[in-house]
Amino acid sequence: MKKPHHHDNHWSDMQLRVKTLESLLIEKGYVDADALDVIIETYVSQIGPRNGAHVVAKAWIDLDYFDRLRNDATAAIAELGYGSRQGEHMQIVENRPGIHNLVVCTLCSCYPWSVLGLPPVWYKSAPYRSRAVIEPRSVLSEFGLELANETKVVVWDSTSEMRYLVIPERPQDTGGWAEDRLAGLVTRDSMIGTGLALSPTEAST
Amino acid sequence: MADNEPVFNEPWEAQAFALVVAMHDEGLFKWSEWAEMLGKIIAADQNNLSYYELWLGALERMIEEKSVLQSSEVEKRKSAWADAVARTPHGKPIELGQDI
């Protein structure tokens, strides 16, 4: 009888390096295996741009809340149950007629995890990190966003201590809409500044 | 770019991410120290490594600088895992032997 053929296992160098650290750190009691699972589960399925959309939609319909966001965004965001263990401060930046805000982290990938989840691949890429500051209009046009010439673009460089959340302008023809329905217009990119909130027509297609 | 792109492309990315968050939660370093280390590793990259490869490199450096683990024990453990992978037939769970 022929011996069964074994396909060899293979781990990439990355798998090997991570498993090495993970097994040692757990054994020595520096981290807890269950805590690692909870962290992954939380960031994969619970924390994401819907949190930020909730904040934005509430600001659009509740002016007192908007003022609290302006005064202390960290606290106002925590009111909705979105906190951070990394200890950073949140600041909102408001788009207005003639002013468009864009957020970047030029050094690494600082990003408001508690309201947007983990950053998309392009946010972490070298071209975005360098070009968002030097030529923001070109970057925006690559995202399909053409701003009027007279609109001023303000670029905010995030740090480990300070993270920014763009409050996009409320779309036209949404008077009387409830918070949940408004939140459906708030995209992740509109809260980074590489997009605008969707119009009711765009949202229904 | 869609809002629904995967957060992690491979399991090891999620594991490396979680290790950093958990170590910070345990007070092993400040978040500002982590951001500074990651920024330094990203700035020094000559090989166009992926984001989580750089993240893992920064984690290894942080563990070394904070003397959380000794580099000799890390090397020893890494070769123990490499041996375990090599001797385990496909489909069986990979486990370390008694030789660690």
Residue A168 near residue A102 (C-beta atoms within 8 A): no
Percent of chain A with pLDDT over 70: 96
Residue B16 near residue B59 (C-beta atoms within 8 A): yes
In the structure, what pLDDT confidence band is assigned to residue B87 with cuts at 50, 70 and 90?
confident
**A22 to B19: CB separation less than 8 angstroms, yes or no:** yes
| A20 vs B39, B52, B74: nearest CB | B74
Query: For residue A171, how far is the Cα from the chain centroid?
Result: 20
- pLDDT reported for residue A11: 87
What tens digit of pLDDT does each residue of B12-48 get? Answer: 999 999 999 999 999 999 999 999 999 999 999 999 9
Mean pLDDT of B45-55: 94
- pLDDT reported for residue A45: 86
Residue environment code for A66-99, b if the CB has 16+ CB neighbours within 10 A, otherwise e: bebbeeebbebbeeeebebebebebbbbebeeee
Task: Tell me, yes or no, if B5 comes closer than 8 A to chain A by beta carbon.
Answer: yes
What tens digit of pLDDT does each residue of A177-200 get? Answer: 999 999 999 999 999 999 999 999
**Domains of chain A: which residue ranges?**
13-45, 48-204
- pLDDT reported for residue A46: 87
- pLDDT reported for residue A1: 44
Task: Tell me, yes or no, if B51 comes closer than 8 A to chain A by beta carbon.
Answer: yes
In the structure, what pLDDT confidence band is assigned to residue B98 with cuts at 50, 70 and 90?
low
In the structure, what pLDDT confidence band is assigned to residue A63 with cuts at 50, 70 and 90?
very high
User: What sign has the CA pseudo-torsion B63, B67, B72, B73?
Assistant: negative
Strands A99-104 and A89-94, sheet pairing: unpaired
Short-list A56, A38, A36, CA closest to A188: A56
- pLDDT reported for residue B35: 95
Residues of B in contact with A116 (CB under 8 A): none
In the structure, what pLDDT confidence band is assigned to residue A84 with cuts at 50, 70 and 90?
confident
Give the active site residues of A: 105, 108-110
Which CATH topology does A48-204 take? Nitrile Hydratase; Chain A (3.90.330)
Question: Is A147's pLDDT higher than 70?
Answer: yes
Place of tokens 């005064």: A71
**B18 to A88: CB separation less than 8 angstroms, yes or no:** no
- pLDDT reported for residue B89: 79
Mean pLDDT of A86-108: 93
Mean pLDDT of A139-163: 95
**B69 to A108: CB separation less than 8 angstroms, yes or no:** no
**A14 to B85: CB separation less than 8 angstroms, yes or no:** no
Residues A189/A194/A197/A200 CA torsion (nearest 10 deg):
-100
Task: Tell me, yes or no, if B39 comes closer than 8 A to chain A by beta carbon.
Answer: yes
In the structure, what pLDDT confidence band is assigned to residue B100 with cuts at 50, 70 and 90?
low
Task: Tell me, yes or no, if B71 comes closer than 8 A to chain A by beta carbon.
Answer: no
Is the interface score ipTM higher than 0.85? yes
Lowest mean pLDDT among A4-18, A24-38, A103-117: A4-18
